Chain A
Amino acid sequence: MSAILERLRPLFYPRGIIVTGVSTHPGKFGSVAYHNLIANGYAGELFPINRDGATCFGRPTYKAIADVPSRRADLAFICTPNTVNEEILRACAAIGVRAAFVASAGYGEAADGKDMEQRLVALGRDLGIVIAGPNGQGLVSTPARMCAQIVAPYPPPGPISVASQSGNIASSFMNYGCLAGIGMSKAISCGNSAQLEIADYLEYFGEDPDTEVSLAYLEGIADGRRFLDVARAHALRKPLVLVRGGVTGAGKRAASSHTGALASDDRIFAGVCRQAGIVRVETVEEAYDTAAAFATQPLPRGPRTLLFTVAGGWGVLSSDACVEAGLDLIPLPDDLRRAIDGMVPARWSRSNPIDLAGGETRDTIPEVLELAAAHPDVDAVVYLGIGIQAAQAQMFRGGPFWPDHGLERIGTFHESQDRRYARAAAEASRRHDKPILVASELVYTDRAYGNAGPLGVAESGRTTFPSGQRAIRTLARMVRYTRWRARRA
């Protein structure tokens, strides 16, 4: 096992966890972390510590760390006041603990806490305990079913791993994971990065076999050269998607008070991303879009893009987006045009975007998706407008005539068709090893009842992009990353 996998194993795959600061008051951070570990089914043993040995959540606690059986806990999740944590760390070391996540505040982020933070790091080094945090909200590792956090959420298991210099942004990424269903393997909030820092987590994710793509939120970097080397090694193996805060003067001031980070000129950081193959994205939602696409779609071999739409306006907006994003909106290949000519009435667009103008019959859309994905001149397909018929079916259901007058028959047909289109897109994509991104705002707007189109996409293990533009910008990032990697392979 590589050095970094070995070093951080007790953090992400602990056999048991000590939680300090567990209280009879359910609002205390220690209690919340203990609750979240239990509630999400942590797979190992839990050792809650309460000064008085009180019963918490109806369960017994340990009065002192020394009472915990030796060599059963690898990780300590520390929520106690900073004044007692050095003593706690020593006691943890005595029973074989090898990693600590320090959630407690009042360290480097506080005017009078810097010395204490240095002592904590030095002590950890002397005791052989790796230290995450302090002043962080926690970490998640779904293979270990571990939600060691003082806040929600706990994302579904998945191939994305998160390292964030803001706990809040880590939660935001995970919330998107909960919403879209493409989940996380690991997620960690760096806190003050007193010892372990974002480059360590990214180095770990780069080698972690459970991580297929990493998602990072960054404000500042202690060691720029190491960050560049780690990020580049990561990107040569798997994508690293990154959002950076503190880009403008105002953002820099906010970042320096948040993480104490000194932010480089953003143009230099843009160069770092270009060199390291980092997929840099401006917003949290687009970062998630991009990570989810990398996690579920084949990499595009090139920029040649075909748009397939059942919604005219979205075809137009998406064409603009293709050009702006630097994708190649290819002329519709002649053989593809002839094939579709034989399938639908002549009013269809006969160009890229392919717009069937309502001429499709039962099998047309799966057939066109298959033909498009199979075509040697096409690197990627964006399919727009899934779920429109299913939305009408929902209106039939809620109207005064359901299920009579043939509404039930047509409604259920529409729903099964939209589900089928989602499946066809995923199958054609897998069969031809090309990305097919599906976009429709109905993934959000029809969420309350669950539109069959986006539901079908989720059932196929993929995600529906809420707009054509978001799908296309995501695809363009995939194209750039693939080109970067190909040139350096």
Chain B
Amino acid sequence: MHIPNESKFRETGVLTPEEFVAAGDHLVHHCPTWQWAAGDESKTKTYLPKDKQFLITRNVACYRRCKQMEYVGEETLVEEESGDGGWVETHQLNDDGTSQLDDKICELTLDESKDEMFTIENGKRSPLRVVTTDDDNEDDDEAIDMDTFEESGMLELVDPAVATTTRKQDIETNPSNLASVVNASETTNSADSVLRTRTYDLHITYDKYYQTPRLWVVGYDEQRKPLTVEQMYEDVSQDHAKKTVTMESHPHLPGPNMASVHPCRHADIMKKIIQTVEEGGGQLGVHLYLIIFLKFVQTVIPTIEYDFTQNFNMS
């Protein structure tokens, strides 16, 4: 495919790979949690520098579910309009240890599962699937299997310098976890862990078809197990879930499809922003592209609190 090398940024809102790199360097410089990544070497794109294939920021906190924000009721929606005050307070109460709220939101999660819209979106699948695991029996079998691998002789070597450690997180959130077999793609075991802090990795790649940046999100639960697609949709604005946010193959990573904000509208939105700035007598440098880009994709993932320190003024 033809890779552009002439700037069309001002006319059409698209980027050349060089401009993407320049805008990426600017982002990394001003928002220090972002960094360049090389990706899987077998997937290196020749039109980008080897060590600047895409941008990544890791472990971004996501305290609240988007679905909760939107479905809780009028009261919350009103609060939401005045910034995110209401829900931030809720979160702090949880930290103080008031389990009452936990219970309340737990119920809410279950209510949502019964919600008609949710069932339609899930097709034939049971709505409760998200909060229960149907693999429990198989896992138990595997646990028994694993016992036969244990080697006794190796413990005979006495090593007085090994500390016995137990992770604070494990004790707090899932004491039974110690006994379970690692299952990298396991869904959450209990409804209440849905409420714990999820984290996200955000990636920005260069989409060579649309000639724009493209945002990817990968979510993890409190144990840092990857979230299922359904769980991730809870953190996407419900107007955008499954329409703007789709599952596709990441250009630089191995593995299954990942959630991505579809780039088909990015150039248009950017063009409008450029025009608005120019009508106001200003001019928008192409190096600011990603800073602005992150601002407008935030409407799709409003509860993911990524580092975003720069302000951008339209006028």
- The answer on A and B forming one complex is no
Name B's A-contacting residues (CB within 8 A). Answer: none
Name A's B-contacting residues (CB within 8 A). Answer: none
